[in-house]
A and B are shown apart, each in its own frame.
Chain A
Amino acid sequence: MAAPLRLKATSASPGVATGPAYIAAPLTAAASPPSGLSGHAELDDAIKTAIRELQDLATGTDPESSDIIEFQIEVLQDPTLTEMAGARIDAGENVAFAWVGTLDAYIGELECSEEDQMRARAVDILDIKNRVLSVLTGTSLDDFPAGSIYVGRDMEPSRFLAHDWSAGGGIALYAGSAVGHVALLAKSRSIPMVIGAGQFTTDRGQHIGVDGDAGVVVLQTADENTMPAQFDHPATGTAPEADNGSLRTADGSQVLLSINVNAPDEVDSILAATTAGIGLMRSEFAVTSLGDAANEEKQFAIYRRLLGWADGRAVTIRMLDIGGDKPLSGLTEAPSLRGVRLLLARPEIARVQARALLRAAVFSNLRVMLPMVTFPSDVDDIRQIYREEASELARRGVPHRIPPIGMMVEVPAAALMLDRFESADFFSFGTNDLAQYLIASAREDADFALYQDRAVPAVLRLLSQAVKLAGGKPVSICGDMAGDPARTADLLAAGICHFSVAPARLPAIRSAIVGLNADGTKAAGE
């Protein structure tokens, strides 16, 4: 057999994988709604599609079911609903939120009805709300066979998230970005990935290899029979300790170790008892489109699933950190705003997420964290939204609880003034953004890695000041620096004793901590 053809590429996530190539069709506009369509026409089309789907469902069902479907179709054709949603669209609301807002108001009314039969209709309306929403957002992407090597120009985060990676597989991109969201996701899940391979030709199903360590795509690998699972998922060599993420430094101080999570199924392979819980869940990686952002039920299910996994341990959900370099598909407005500023500028997005979180908080130890907070009023304003949504849920008789609300400390102005943030219940340092803003560097900048290293002394000085200003409130760190064992001593010295890291970093940080004293000095004998 001829020597395998090796294509030079750039590593984006380490590890090696082989499998049949899945050649992705070029990204087309079909995934997103045609931009020429007005909000009204878009909604009309989505409603018509939902009606067709319901009519298909109705054929061949029993009379009871078809009665319910007929009722739902009649509501979808109700001129009052179309008018109300239309007025919201005219007022500048995005079509998905206009639809959801209109239906939520009606569902709220039904739920408060004195009559059982009216209250029972609420779920029928909820059903059509979600049906139209899913048409509007067109989120159903074709999944590809498990174990495949994804080959394409680029990859959408939603496609990555929708795929079943449990059978392995990898990603080889003609173009792509090493700091893009898919690369971040691939790293956190240990999926080998290379980018910048250039347009290469391979047949669908042809076995190829991705070497994320060397940054190489291997074409013409041996045939499939000789391809047993030689590259297993990173094997758990030593059984992790079920210490609930509560460690002791060499001199006996307690340090907590939590994990950072992006998509809910990332926790499936992790034993909760080896962690103190989830220190950071980046909800923008689970809520990837405007439609998902408008979908309270979907978000509620995600948060509940994580709480179920954590089994009583703390689960910290960061509210959507979107805008800026993290666009939300479908949201075109205010691209210069990011994090909590965007949430406050578009409160309809924050309110849906707040409701999902308020409802999930009933089940277990949930905490909410706000992204990119700069001023104390940011926290106050979001807290007000939680209070308002809580009283609305109370009016509807929906179980809920206001969770502790904390904040990311990733804007230098906030870090310097931490003693002024009275309404924040806890703080977590996001060192990536903090470093970026401290040294005036764009994150996409090729030189950022270099600058970032040189920023470390300034970041550490700011962190140790901020810990003192926190005034005894819980403090943790969830940025990349937390997962780098070379920094553990400095961070302990700065007074941080709660680390939240990518699951793959748990063993390294665990062993770093136990070899150090609480002040970061090396333990005797190390």
Chain B
Amino acid sequence: MSGGLRIGGRETEQVHASCETEVEVKHGVGLHARPSVTFTRLAKSFPCSIEVAVNGSDIWLNGKSIIKIMGARIRKGSVIRIRADGILAEEAIRALKDLVERNFDEEKRHGRTA
């Protein structure tokens, strides 16, 4: 492990991790522009790497890239795997999964649909 980032052995183990989760997209039209913006912005707020694979594919896409996320054809009913590696990986996975389950907070937006 990189010595420069070590704060203490136990703390490093706590924050530096590799995590993965799986979640189904229920949002009406999937990850078009606005939900993609919400997703990649949240992903970018974490210092770890975030990758996404769709419907059992083993191609992992950069979860911080809106171009990749929009191009992944994530539609209603798609199952996405999200994996994170690095600092705050667990928190990142939890937050992103929550976001998908909350339908990307679309309902909060003045009741408009996507």
Distance in angstroms from A69 CB to nearest chain B CB is 10
Q: Mark A14-37, 1 if CB is under 8 A from B, else 0.
A: 000000000000000000000000
Q: Are B71 and A109 in contact (CB under 8 A)?
A: yes
Q: Chain A residues with Cβ under 8 A from B67's Cβ?
A: 75, 78, 80-81, 106
A200 contacts the other chain (CB 8 A) = no
Q: A70-B37, A109-B71 are in contact. Are A75 and B32 (CB under 8 A)?
A: no
B110 contacts the other chain (CB 8 A) = yes
Q: A109-B71, A118-B70 are in contact. Are A71 and B34 (CB under 8 A)?
A: yes
Q: Are B110 and A63 in contact (CB under 8 A)?
A: yes
Distance in angstroms from B54 CB to nearest chain A CB is 15
Q: A63-B110, A74-B40, A74-B41 are in contact. Are A121 and B64 (CB under 8 A)?
A: no
Q: Which residue of B lies closest to A64 (CB)?
A: B112
A238 contacts the other chain (CB 8 A) = no
Interface size on A, residues (CB 8 A): 17
Interface size on B, residues (CB 8 A): 20
Give complex CA distance A71, B65 in Å.
12
Q: Are A74 and B32 in contact (CB under 8 A)?
A: no
Q: Mark A99-130, 1 if CB is under 8 A from B, else 0.
A: 00000001001000000011001000000000
| Partner among A63, A70, A74, A80 whose Cβ is within 8 Å of the Cβ of B62 | A80
Give complex CA distance A117, B33 in Å.
9
A327-381 residues with Cβ-Cβ distance < 8 A to B are: none
Q: Chain A residues with Cβ under 8 A from B32's Cβ?
A: 117-118
Q: Are B65 and A80 in contact (CB under 8 A)?
A: yes
Distance in angstroms from A361 CB to nearest chain B CB is 32
Distance in angstroms from A323 CB to nearest chain B CB is 35
B29 contacts the other chain (CB 8 A) = yes
Give complex CA distance A80, B71 in Å.
12
A79 contacts the other chain (CB 8 A) = yes
Q: Is the interface of B mostly helix, strand, loop or mixed?
A: helix
Q: Chain A residues with Cβ under 8 A from B25's Cβ?
A: none
Q: Chain B residues with Cβ under 8 A from A78's Cβ?
A: 40, 64-67
Q: Chain A residues with Cβ under 8 A from B34's Cβ?
A: 67, 70-71
B26 contacts the other chain (CB 8 A) = no
Q: Mark B32-57, 1 if CB is under 8 A from A, else 0.
A: 11101100110010000000000000
B16 contacts the other chain (CB 8 A) = no
Distance in angstroms from B21 CB to nearest chain A CB is 22
Q: Are B64 and A117 in contact (CB under 8 A)?
A: no
Q: Chain A residues with Cβ under 8 A from B71's Cβ?
A: 109
Give complex CA distance A77, B67 in Å.
10
Q: Which residue of A lies closest to B68 (CB)?
A: A80
| Partner among B62, B109, B110 whose Cβ is within 8 Å of the Cβ of A79 | B62
Give complex CA distance A109, B109 in Å.
30
| Partner among A71, A79, A81, A106 whose Cβ is within 8 Å of the Cβ of B33 | A71
Give complex CA distance A79, B63 in Å.
10
| Partner among A67, A70, A79, A117 whose Cβ is within 8 Å of the Cβ of B65 | A79
Give complex CA distance A77, B68 in Å.
13
Q: A63-B110, A67-B34, A109-B71 are in contact. Are A74 and B66 (CB under 8 A)?
A: yes
Among A63, A79, A81, A109: residue with most chain B CB under 10 A: A79
Give complex CA distance A71, B33 in Å.
6
Q: Which residue of A lies closest to B29 (CB)?
A: A117
Distance in angstroms from B75 CB to nearest chain A CB is 10
Q: Chain B residues with Cβ under 8 A from A109's Cβ?
A: 71
Q: Are A75 and B66 in contact (CB under 8 A)?
A: yes
Q: Chain A residues with Cβ under 8 A from B41's Cβ?
A: 74
Q: A78-B65, A80-B65, A80-B67 are in contact. Are A67 and B33 (CB under 8 A)?
A: yes
Closest 8 CB pairs of A and B: A80-B65, A71-B33, A74-B37, A74-B66, A78-B65, A80-B67, A78-B67, A78-B66
11 contacts between A and B (CB under 8 A): A63-B109, A63-B110, A67-B34, A68-B33, A70-B37, A71-B66, A74-B40, A80-B65, A109-B71, A117-B29, A121-B33
Question: 9 other contacts beyond A63-B110, A117-B32, with CB at 8 A cut-off?
Answer: A63-B112, A67-B34, A68-B33, A74-B41, A78-B66, A79-B62, A79-B65, A109-B71, A121-B70
